[in-house]
């Protein structure tokens, strides 16, 4: 296997401060992931055992984005991003750990880490066993400059024996009101959709329970509304300022009966998305995380005393 393909490219230009998660979450990430590699003494010089980290949260909350931002902060650290499902044999696991130790200081972000805890087939069981053996070897060999960061959408699947290898457990939660405000403000601005402050606050309340990815989908749906209008329109009117044809109702003065297929792209004026389009987009979308899953996260945190 070509392990180099798992290397995170350092050109990823996003600051950790740009990640829309609670400040308390960022502080924990800094403390347990960044500080050991940013301090004047390297992890290798420390007398403490390396404590691997679990980042858990619903799909779409930004765990992968956060991993890339962390890698961008650690320019002198070799960072890898892969998943349980990328490992096709136990040899792949061994090769990854050997490569990482040769390139130390290093960090392995392992997505779908919960799958190591519940392997279904013989090959998966061998892969899982090898992964645990590699982590045990790191501890026995006193390797302090290789950190494993596990990522999980379903942390409740992790059994206690496996979870012990990840003593630091950090939740990447659903965005709260403040984070939803920032996400919506940014996405709407970048999409050239103008809304008032009152309308923005309306959207913040309407998106409770949505992940960051859900909010992106809502805005994309809003941007599709003008295209749907163009496809459905039976009449167009020529805009005096741009000299382009815009969709309109049949009773609009100066309207001409035609369809969008009769116009060249350069002669067609695409309407801008509006707040109504965002509302329509919101009506088409639902949160990806349901109440049952939220309850499983709550139970997991309670069971393992994660209360920050």
Q: Is residue 141 part of a domain?
A: yes
Question: pLDDT-based confidence at 246, cuts 50/70/90?
Answer: very high
Q: Is residue 84 part of a domain?
A: yes
The residue that leads in pLDDT, 45 or 128, is 128
Query: Of the ranges 14-23, 28-37, 72-81, 164-173, which one carries the lowest mean pLDDT score?
Result: 14-23
152 and 36 in a common domain? yes
194 and 109 in a common domain? no
220 and 71 in a common domain? no
Query: Of the ranges 7-21, 37-51, 178-192, 278-292, which one carries the lowest mean pLDDT score?
Result: 37-51
Q: Is residue 278 part of a domain?
A: yes
Q: Is residue 106 part of a domain?
A: yes
The tens digit of pLDDT for each residue in 182-213 reads: 999 999 999 999 999 999 999 999 999 999 99
Question: pLDDT-based confidence at 41, cuts 50/70/90?
Answer: very low
233 and 112 in a common domain? no
CA separation (Å) from 90 to 8, 33, 94, 108?
A: 22, 27, 6, 16
How many domains in the chain?
2
The residue that leads in pLDDT, 75 or 236, is 236
Q: Is residue 211 part of a domain?
A: yes
Q: Judge whether residue 45 has pLDDT over 60.
A: no
The SS3 assignment for 70 reads helix
185 and 164 in a common domain? no
- Please state, for a pLDDT cut of 70, what percent of the chain lies above it: 95
Q: Judge whether residue 147 has pLDDT over 70.
A: yes
Q: Judge whether residue 240 has pLDDT over 70.
A: yes
Q: What angle do CA 89, 90, 94 make, to 5 degrees?
A: 125
Q: Judge whether residue 80 has pLDDT over 90.
A: yes
* pLDDT recorded at residue 12: 63
CATH number for the domain that contains residue 226 = 1.10.8.60
CA distance 250 to 34: 61
Beta strands in 178-282 (DSSP E): 235-238, 245-248, 256-257
One DSSP character per residue, 181-194 reads HHHHHHHHHHTT--
For 255-266, what is the mean pLDDT?
Answer: 95
148 and 14 in a common domain? yes
230 and 81 in a common domain? no
Asked whether the beta carbons of 107 and 144 are under 8 A apart, the reply is: no
Q: Is residue 258 part of a domain?
A: yes
For residue 72, the Cα-to-chain-centroid distance in whole angstroms is 15
CATH number for the domain that contains residue 56 = 3.40.50.300
What residues make up the domain containing 137?
Answer: 3-174+298-303
214 and 81 in a common domain? no
Mean of all residue pLDDT scores within the chain:
91
Q: Is residue 216 part of a domain?
A: yes
The tens digit of pLDDT for each residue in 86-145 reads: 999 999 999 999 999 999 899 999 999 999 888 788 898 899 999 999 999 998 888 889
232 and 170 in a common domain? no
CA separation (Å) from 145 to 43, 66, 135?
A: 5, 21, 13
For 33-56, what is the mean pLDDT?
Answer: 73
Beta strands in the chain (DSSP E): 53-56, 78-83, 106-111, 146-152, 168-171, 235-238, 245-248, 256-257
Q: Judge whether residue 72 has pLDDT over 50.
A: yes
Within a 13 Å sphere around the CA of 210, how many CA atoms are in the beta-carbon half?
26
One DSSP character per residue, 72-136 reads HH-TTSEEEEEEGGG--SHHHHHHHHHHHHHT-SEEEEEETGGGGTS--SHHHHHHHHHHHHHHH
Q: Are strands 256-257 and 53-56 parallel, antiparallel or unpaired?
A: unpaired
The SS3 assignment for 231 reads helix
* pLDDT recorded at residue 307: 66
- Give strand pairing partners of 78: 106
The SS3 assignment for 145 reads coil
* pLDDT recorded at residue 47: 53
Q: Judge whether residue 308 has pLDDT over 90.
A: no
* pLDDT recorded at residue 185: 96
169 and 191 in a common domain? no
Q: Is residue 293 part of a domain?
A: no
CA distance 9 to 296: 34
150 and 222 in a common domain? no
260 and 200 in a common domain? yes
* pLDDT recorded at residue 18: 80
Cβ-in-10-Å burial (0-12, 13-18, 19+) of 291 comes to exposed
Asked whether the beta carbons of 175 and 19 are under 8 A apart, the reply is: no
């Amino acid at each position: 296997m070509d392990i180099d393909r798992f290397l995170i490219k350092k050109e990823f230009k996003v600051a950790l401060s740009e990640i829309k998660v609670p400040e308390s979450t960022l502080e924990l990430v800094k403390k347990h992931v960044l500080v050991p590699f940013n301090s004047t003494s390297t992890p290798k010089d420390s007398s403490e055992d390396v404590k691997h980290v679990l980042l858990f949260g619903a799909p779409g909350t930004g765990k992968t984005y956060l991993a890339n931002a962390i890698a961008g902060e650690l320019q002198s650290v070799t960072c890898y991003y892969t998943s349980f499902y990328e490992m096709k044999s136990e040899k792949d696991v061994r090769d990854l750990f050997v490569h990482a130790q040769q390139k130390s200081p290093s960090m392995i972000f392992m997505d779908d880490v919960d799958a190591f805890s519940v392997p279904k087939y013989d090959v998966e069981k061998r892969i899982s066993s090898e992964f645990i053996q590699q982590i045990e070897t790191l501890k026995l060999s006193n390797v302090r400059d290789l950190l494993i960061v596990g990522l999980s959408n379903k942390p409740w699947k992790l059994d206690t024996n496996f979870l012990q290898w990840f003593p630091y457990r950090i939740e990447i939660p659903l965005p709260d009101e403040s984070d939803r405000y920032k996400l919506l403000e940014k996405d709407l601005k970048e999409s050239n959709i103008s809304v008032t402050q009152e309308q923005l606050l309306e959207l913040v309340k309407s998106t409770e329970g949505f992940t960051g990815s859900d909010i992106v989908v809502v805005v994309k749906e809003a941007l599709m509304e003008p295209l749907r209008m163009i496809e459905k329109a039976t009449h167009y009117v020529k805009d005096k300022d741009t000299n382009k044809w815009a969709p309109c109702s049949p009773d609009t003065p100066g309207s001409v009966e035609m369809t969008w297929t009769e116009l060249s792209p350069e002669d067609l004026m695409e309407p801008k998305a509006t707040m109504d389009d965002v509302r329509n987009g919101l009506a088409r979308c639902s949160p990806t995380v349901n109440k049952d899953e939220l309850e499983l996260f709550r139970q997991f945190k309670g069971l393992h005393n994660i209360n920050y």
